[in-house]
Amino acid sequence: MDWGMKNRLAQIIKSDGKCFFMPVDHGYFLGPTSRLEKPGETIKSIVRYSDALFVTRGVLRSCIDPDNSLPIILRVSGGSSVIGKDLANESITTSIEEAIRLNVSAVGLSVFIGTEYEHQTLMNLANLVNECEKYGIPVMAVTAVGKELEKRDARYLSLCCRIAAELGARVVKTYWCENFDKVTNGCPVPIVIAGGPKCDTELQVFDFVYDGMQKGAIGVNLGRNVWQHPHPVAMAKALRSVIHQKAAPKEALEIFNEEKNKAKK
């Protein structure tokens, strides 16, 4: 691996081999979703607990301070919306020159395996890898399921992650599921866990993140369960302890409660 690729990966994956990515890219298909109306405001208090931000170029330019920013993973796929015909109908939205101009540490795009747009989105990935490898920019593949959340099982996700890795993704982002080791064991590149819609309790979030990390994930790319929570700082701090200090779910819950009570005083 060349120096540039190694250096960019080291910017987003910390020296302990773990990472906490903060995604605020949801607007690219959801519009101003709840608590992400003003992304710059949303991340202000939680950014210090994250290792990298996952954003589109629009939000990056308009809401993120270039003088004081975390490493950036640039969302470079899109072209469909939650009210449109099919969320899977994505193309690459951003040129390699733009990614270089924005000095990003990595780029990310979605693949929709098993859909009508499987071939199109996998070729998006392959073409992006072809361009990005020339310049030492890591590609993170996002195994997306659109509105079909029931697809998130080990059989389907292990297929998706393996295919993304085979096509050259340096990191794969996927959902946590039961028997998550089946997913990590079949994927030769690091896996980060996506959050998904907001869970009912904090412990549920800490449980699945902890389980996923025990079973081989290197970290998370988790947004709504942090910034849609009434106590985002407490959530971010507790999750950071699971990811970087190997805190068990109950310890993370203590950290969460401590921080929540501090904020009340």
Give every CB contact of residue 195 below 8 A, 6+ residues apart in sequence: 23, 205, 220, 221, 222, 223, 224, 225, 226
From the CB of 88, what's the least distance to ligand 5RP, in Å? 13
Contacting positions for ligand 5RP (CB under 6 A): 23, 25-26, 54, 142, 194-196, 221-225
From the CB of 184, what's the least distance to ligand 5RP, in Å? 18
Return the closest-CA partner of residue 218 out of 184, 178, 253: 184
134 or 221, CB closer to ligand 5RP? 221
Residue number of the CB atom closest to ligand 5RP: 195
Annotated catalytic residue: which of 151, 173, 237, 260? Answer: 173
187 or 227, CB closer to ligand 5RP? 227
Active site residue 182: no
Return the closest-CA partner of residue 105 out of 6, 219, 220, 8: 8
From the CB of 241, what's the least distance to ligand 5RP, in Å? 18
Return the closest-CA partner of residue 110 out of 201, 174, 27, 48: 174
223 or 232, CB closer to ligand 5RP? 223
From the CB of 110, what's the least distance to ligand 5RP, in Å? 6
Amino acid found at 172: V
25 or 165, CB closer to ligand 5RP? 25
Pairwise CA distance, residues 44 & 236, whole Å? 12
Pairwise CA distance, residues 83 & 131, whole Å? 31
Pairwise CA distance, residues 217 & 212, whole Å? 6
Residues with a catalytic annotation lie at 173
